Amino acid sequence: MSDYDFDLFVIGAGSGGTRASRMSAAYGAKVAVAEEYRVGGTCVIRGCVPKKLLIFGAHFAEDLKDARRFGWDVPDCRFDWPVLRDNVLADVDRLNGLYTQGLENNGVEILLDRATVTGAHEVTLGSGRKVSAKTILIATGAHPHVPSFPGSEHGITSNEVFHLETMPRRVLIAGGGYIANEFAGIFNEFGAKVTLVNRTDVILRGYDAQVRDRLLQISMTKGIDFRFFAEFEKIEKQADGSLLVSMSGHDPIEVDCVLFATGRVPNTKGLGLEAVGVELDDKGAVKVDADNRSSVDSIYAVGDVTNRVQLTPVAIREGQAFADTLFGGKPHQVDYHCIPSAVFSHPPIAAVGMTEGEARNTLGSVKVYTSDFRAMKNVLAGRHERSLYKMICDGVTGRVVGLHMIGPDAPEILQAAAVAVKAGLTKDDFDATVALHPTMAEELVLLK
């Protein structure tokens, strides 16, 4: 009989925590997972999944207009926010049930309670119950950062967007990352006047400059305003409920909603980690090695709480690698090279590998191939929005080291193309592939 109550105790039932829990239990470990909110984590409950559903809803704004050019007699339509909101929340409930069922079917004990680490092998629940475990896994994710300045409490974060009572007419979004640009597109398509405010003049830092400049151009054409080099000074709530936002370098602006999308902070505060010797970095993230082990041998961490790559599929892979290594007899580590990513803006961006700037700094000799075109649907719809596909190659070997795309369905197309980049294929390999016509994806094998 084990000297511990559990072989594994997981704190946090998000993407990484549920995968690690379920797989470890499937390997025969006795597993418990503590979750103080809902099973599924940020991605499923208040992140990528419900946000993607809002993006689907937002696309209908342009699709309904474009349909008239394709012969459909579409009347003027009214958007009903509560209908979409409630349907999205209902689907979140469904997914929460499926994640819960998946854990239970594998024999994982779910404890809907807050848990703190009180020893190298001990966890204390909010109820006061103490539990011992041979191994503890921290998978508590991250939360939205809210800047501190007078009146910042009047703003909301992406967590609260899905529960808005009404659709605001005027929205100010703080930030220049993927969450900011995605919600800018969503609110704009739903008919709100959107202003995006950023401390610098760079949006989507880390993406290829030419692609992000194209998004900025298209976004402005769609009516989204941008205020750059702006620092918040204060937010004042007016008698009518509106918000007067003052910022450096720009005139004050009156809006109905301020959404902070200014980064995410690892959820380690109050977990008791430092008291038991777990080392954190300057942002509060758990420091781990390649096997997800912290500075305390019995305590591990996966997902956004480690602040390595804040992407759901990465957290899932880390959870899988943890379970395989500790309980499955199949030790391996996650390969962080060449991870594809997407921004579900309007239109979306997708990328894998090095940007042009990174490639030139790293490789020296680089060849760049592009295709700048209008999607066939946009041509007939009379929409002048242009797509841009960009391939970065090693100038000596011809190996494709980066693909960057902006245009309809770019993320769907890039997922398959990312396999080729990960495999180290060359521009000649792409050129040798016959085009699938007529598609947007065929541009990848016709790049000049």
* Positions marked active-site: 437
Q: How many angstroms separate the CA atoms of 220 and 409, rounded? A: 20
Cα 317 to Cα 94: distance, rounded to the nearest angstrom? 24
Residue 240 buriedness (CB in 10 A; 0-12 / 13-18 / 19+): exposed
- Whether 272 contacts 309, CB under 8 Å: no
Measured CA to CA, the distance from residue 383 to residue 376 in angstroms comes to: 10
Q: How far apart are CA 67 and CA 77, in angstroms?
A: 12
- Token readout for 113 is 């309670």
Q: What is the dihedral of CA 104, 109, 115, 120, to 10 degrees?
A: -130
Instruction: For residue 241, list its beta bridge partners.
Output: none
Both tokens assigned to 330 = 């199949």
Which of these, 68, 75, 12, 14, lies nearest to 43 by C-alpha position? 14
Task: Retrieve residue 85's tokens.
Answer: 């909101």
How buried is residue 289: exposed, middle or buried, by Cβ count under 10 Å (0-12/13-18/19+)?
exposed
Coil, strand, or helix at residue 383? coil
**What are the angstrom distances between the C-alpha of 69 and each of 9, 65, 75, 79?**
57, 8, 13, 21
ω before 168 within 30° of 0 (cis)? no
Q: Specify the 3-state DSSP secondary structure of 231.
A: coil
Tokens of 317: 């892979």
DSSP 323: H
Q: Quick count: other Cβ atoms within 10 Å of Cβ 352? A: 23
Dist. CA 344–CA 267, nearest whole Å: 25
